[in-house]
Amino acid sequence: MNPHHRKVHLPVPSFATATLLLLPLALLAAVLVAVYHNEFALQSYLARPACPSNASDTSLTGRHVAVRVAPDFRLLIGVLTLPGLYERRHLMRTVYALQQPNLTAHVDVRFVFCRLASEEQRVLVALEAMQHGDVVELDCPENMDNGKTHAYLSSVPALFGDRAYDFVMKTDDDTFLRLPQLVESLNRAPREDLYYGCMVPCDVVRAQENEYMSGMGYVISWDLVEWIVAAAEQIRNHTVGPEDRLVSTWFRGAGKGKNRVDTKPAMYGFPDRADHCAHELVHDTIAVHKLKNNGRWATTLKYFNFTAGLQPSKFTSMD
């Protein structure tokens, strides 16, 4: 008997198999980078810098804009949301990805939440991190008004790098942003000391003192992000409460955010009698707020002809 025939061929993993096995592990390792900043231990699922300094080299990859010329500016949009809202994130990813191709600015959308509450979330959100690379977990207890916004804004430089963006936005998961209109509007805004958004209260004329930019979506320039990091001690005692009003309190106390840009009436609430900032959908729109259910998203997207480019036959045909 030829001894060779008796040789037991143990399944030695091929290089390809090994790569397949190791790749997810490597991704996970890359994904679970803990960044320590202030008191927040941050787990960033994607702390990739916005853009190489030379943007003309940026190539077309999955969710990245193909910017052939240097972008006008770099904007980070942090959507503060809850880990369990998988369906809403799916919708928002689609809505924002579809708007990317014609932007003249580099816009990154990231979903931001506090600590994942369960093993289930840790697994399911990790899947999103691996596929989309656009979720950020902050080490704060999950909440609306207990410092989440401060945790987000103050951790941006540590997560994304120094001067990674020109503008940083905080928005919500019930806000629809029209990115081209936002970019066009920001292009005309000051790049320093900027506090931009829908100034509230909407219904009454009040002293400048009491006004602030609605939490539906406000933008601050990078220098103010740096200031928030630097002023951590000063504002530590002022991080609990309605987050949008608090931000204006921090700025007011320090004489910051003097370049205020009020986008009304281009940012508003979905038509609803109870909302003083609401009005009918209009062509000249940057943001629509209070999209609390799929029906409102559908109505809004339809109004803005979001799906108009798709031939009905293509929609019904499966291939």
Positions that interact with ligand NAG (CB under 6 A) = 54, 56, 101-102, 233-234, 237, 283, 304-305, 308
- Contact between 74 and 165 under an 8 Å Cβ cutoff? The reply is yes
Q: Using CA atoms, how far apart are residues 118 and 84, in angstroms rounded to an integer?
A: 10
Which of 87, 233 has the CB closer to ligand NAG?
A: 233
Which of 153, 301 has the CB closer to ligand NAG?
A: 301
DSSP 8-state assignment for residue 169: E
- For residue 68, which of 102, 108, 109 has the smallest C-alpha distance? 102
Mark residue 193 as left, alpha or beta (left: phi above 0; alpha: psi -120 to 50; beta: remaining): left
Which of 56, 293 has the CB closer to ligand NAG?
A: 56
Which of 135, 288 has the CB closer to ligand NAG?
A: 288
CB 117, min distance to ligand NAG, A: 28
CB 99, min distance to ligand NAG, A: 7
CB 281, min distance to ligand NAG, A: 8
Give the up-direction half-sphere exposure of residue 203: CA atoms within 13 A in the CB hemisphere. Answer: 7
Which of 103, 129 has the CB closer to ligand NAG?
A: 103
Dihedral sign (CA 82, 86, 91, 92): positive
CB 303, min distance to ligand NAG, A: 6
Neighbouring CB atoms inside 10 A of 8's CB total 4
Q: Using CA atoms, how far apart are residues 81 and 251, in angstroms rounded to an integer?
A: 24
Instruction: Give the total residue count for the chain.
Output: 319
Non-local (6+) Cβ contacts of 120 within 8 A are: none
- For residue 303, which of 276, 282, 284 has the smallest C-alpha distance? 282
CB 211, min distance to ligand NAG, A: 23
Which of 151, 213 has the CB closer to ligand NAG?
A: 151
- Contact between 148 and 80 under an 8 Å Cβ cutoff? The reply is yes
CB 300, min distance to ligand NAG, A: 10
Which of 63, 276 has the CB closer to ligand NAG?
A: 63
Q: Using CA atoms, how far apart are residues 46 and 159, in angstroms rounded to an integer?
A: 8
Q: Using CA atoms, how far apart are residues 90 and 111, in angstroms rounded to an integer?
A: 11
CB 161, min distance to ligand NAG, A: 17
